[in-house]
Structure 1
């Protein structure tokens, strides 16, 4: 457990006043906004939200691109005593309708084009709608709030890759301490500029804003269409920090980065899945001067671990150790602490643990359970369902998710082990392995990869036969030019299994 920082949570909207008043807080298509302007705009927007007929505790949903409004909504809703529900702009009307109904949203803010896609029944009867262009950023506003840091401030809906999206309830303290923790271990400074490419509906996407503002740094919200757009944005805005998910990093390492542009980035952070060793190596070659932070996390507890960038070349498979304010335990099947080298479930305790799932006590009881007896923090913990191994030196290695394990001929097989081997072969940069029904084996292994097949397929098969035991060999390898992705940019495993698993 890391205790190097003093946990002193505040209401989330106080992030608007963390920086020097005349320092740049936000850079967007409208120009630059300093922290004094950010605080005033957040107050005015908070007042406007209440003028729409909302009351403290009401849920307000935003379905927006990375506009100035999208950046300010989390803080403005918190200042007004509302609960923010950010909706990924890539979602379609049916998914949005589910989120609005499930959250009990009283107001949806979006552009006319998005509102125009909604059909009868998509918008709950008591949910109002407002055009994003009508939002107010100036005039008399609300002062900084005095909310209890333990109060509910946001509901973030998971991408739905494992079923219907579920709403994770986050308090002011969850997000404030997450910002403090990340700002600390990334070493964010006021001189930094964070290029925000991850969706703001994603927990770490929001943290791009929060951790930067906590440190008094600038943010540059950016929606990109092609990987080369990111390169151009780094050059144009002199970005120094970039966060991504593995599929984006793959795309960024497949394009050319002039040395003078790659050299601008001093911090790279990964979330949303483990990075295969070849990808780590590609990133180190593409951005040799940048500190690469490999992290593990889950929405229910934000981030859990990070690996010191100084160790990434020596132990590229490690997910590191606990971040500040997190206690990370490896629990054996008998409920005791797993010994070094013994696989166990990763359990996260401490103040980053979310409040549970919105209006879903059954699923909350499955994932949020009392911490093990040997916990220092105690209280409620998140039982991740992920299997990890702790080495003698305390560093953790991700093994796989219990619910994704392939059970074949009596063997429990981690899909990630097969995927890592496929990527290590050099014949593909992305892979997804899963089990399909088989009368003889129980489950056979299907492997879907990105690439053209042909000679590459023969090479991949030879590599897998040389590196993996017989029981881990795929029954079939499917080659595709592109693989489905969910709205957060990760591989959509559910869709991949649906298309090629039958």
Structure 2
């Protein structure tokens, strides 16, 4: 309970929530980011409007009808909302939007800002094990749109090497979160708890009680000013030709073309490469030349080892997990035997 109260206090502080706010809650309450919409509202005495939507258009209509001041969503939903027409004047009451659960494509962010110019975007990063970790202030979005920001109030975020020593600026390392938001562990799962909850780096020896921190498993880097940049989740990194490829980097190139509605880059077992990069795309418009155009763009912008081996076009939206994120594991499972007979 202390974690929930501390998280609500920190988030409501940087979002500047107030009793007059009307926060639209469209994410599952089983998702910590979704539950945060309620706890944040409760913390300041604001109104939380619960919604179980069927179509993305319904969300936009609810924002207008309910005079919503704050809206939180995950990247797949933001991509859909950015492709819709928004009512004129919605930014007269929609004070802010927030994103977590994955990186928002820069082209999607630009489209959202064009549709609601006075609405402030907060780009955030969070861990289920520690509520929320970082946020990028709206005033920094133009300067560093690909940054995940700095630590939220009452948290300390470190970037460390495998031995726990601090990384130099620009050096990739593991994100470690310490502070009041860190939970005690996983319920009835001591093995998983020991894997993620370890002593916080840099503690003096001889302390009677060791402070535990969350070792995220995510690879990030920090610049000279302390702003953080997401590289990839360790369990989602694609290992191809001896390189590690972040799916997000490949997907960013694809979203920037504005040729697709959704895209996911996954690693598929390959007899020569170890894993091959495979793109799965979905687009409203059925254009057989889209895959060819996307491949040309990848070859133009990406190094050879990051260029997809294949592009798979689907006739329906990509599968989601219970939190509304694209289900990469399911997609990878469906494509697991793709290169067994024909690796070329």
Give the TM-score normalised by structure 1: 0.64
Structure-1 residue corresponding to 2:265:
433
Q: Does 1:493 align with 2:325?
A: no
Aligned 8 A contact 1:436 1:446 in 2: yes
CA change 1:368–1:419 in 2 (3 A) is same
Which of 391, 413, 417 matches 2:245?
A: 413
Q: Deviations over 1:101-143 (max 9, x none)?
A: xxxxxxxxxxxxxxxxxxxxxxxxxxxxxxxxxxxxxxxxxxx
SS of the residue aligned with 2:132? strand
Structure-2 residue corresponding to 1:384:
216
SS of the residue aligned with 1:404? coil
Structure-1 residue corresponding to 2:229:
397
Shift of 1:204: 1.4
Larger radius of gyration: 1
Kindly report which structure 2 residues correspond to 1:432-451, keeping only aligned pairs within 5 A, or say none.
Answer: 432-451=264-283
Q: Does 1:247 align with 2:73?
A: no
SS of the residue aligned with 2:308? coil
Which of 188, 205, 224 matches 1:359?
A: 188
Kindly report which structure 2 residues correspond to 1:131-146, keeping only aligned pairs within 5 A, or say none.
Answer: none
Structure-2 residue corresponding to 1:319:
148
Q: Could you tell me how far apart the structure 2 residues matched to 1:408 and 1:500 are? A: 16
Q: Could you tell me how far apart the structure 2 residues matched to 1:295 and 1:175 are? A: 17
Q: Could you tell me how far apart the structure 2 residues matched to 1:294 and 1:267 are? A: 11
Q: Deviations over 1:313-366 (max 9, x none)?
A: 221100000001211000013321000000000000011011111111001000
Shift of 1:434: 1.7
Q: Could you tell me how far apart the structure 1 residues matched to 2:307 and 2:210 are? A: 42
SS of the residue aligned with 1:295? strand
Aligned 8 A contact 1:231 1:261 in 2: no
Kindly report which structure 2 residues correspond to 1:221-232, keeping only aligned pairs within 5 A, or say none.
Answer: 221-232=50-61
Structure-1 residue corresponding to 2:47:
218
Q: Does 1:477 align with 2:306?
A: no
Q: Does 1:274 align with 2:103?
A: yes
Kindly report which structure 2 residues correspond to 1:50-69, keeping only aligned pairs within 5 A, or say none.
Answer: none
Q: Deviations over 1:422-477 (max 9, x none)?
A: 11222224221122122211111111112245121121111100000111111110
Q: Could you tell me how far apart the structure 2 residues matched to 1:271 and 1:181 are? A: 15
Which of 285, 290, 302 matches 1:456?
A: 290
Moved over 6 A (4+): none
Point out the more displaced range, 457-466 or 435-444.
Answer: 435-444
Kindly report which structure 2 residues correspond to 1:123-202, keeping only aligned pairs within 5 A, or say none.
Answer: 172-202=1-31
Q: Could you tell me how far apart the structure 2 residues matched to 1:412 and 1:221 are? A: 41
Q: Could you tell me how far apart the structure 2 residues matched to 1:357 and 1:241 are? A: 31
Shift of 1:374: 5.7
Give the TM-score normalised by structure 2: 0.93
Listed as ranges, the gaps of 5+ residues in structure 1 are: 1-171
Structure-2 residue corresponding to 1:56:
none
Structure-1 residue corresponding to 2:340:
none
Q: Deviations over 1:122-170 (max 9, x none)?
A: xxxxxxxxxxxxxxxxxxxxxxxxxxxxxxxxxxxxxxxxxxxxxxxxx
Q: Could you tell me how far apart the structure 1 residues matched to 2:90 and 2:183 are? A: 38
Q: Could you tell me how far apart the structure 2 residues matched to 1:383 and 1:490 are? A: 22
Q: Deviations over 1:55-75 (max 9, x none)?
A: xxxxxxxxxxxxxxxxxxxxx
- In the alignment of these two chains, the number of paired residues is 330
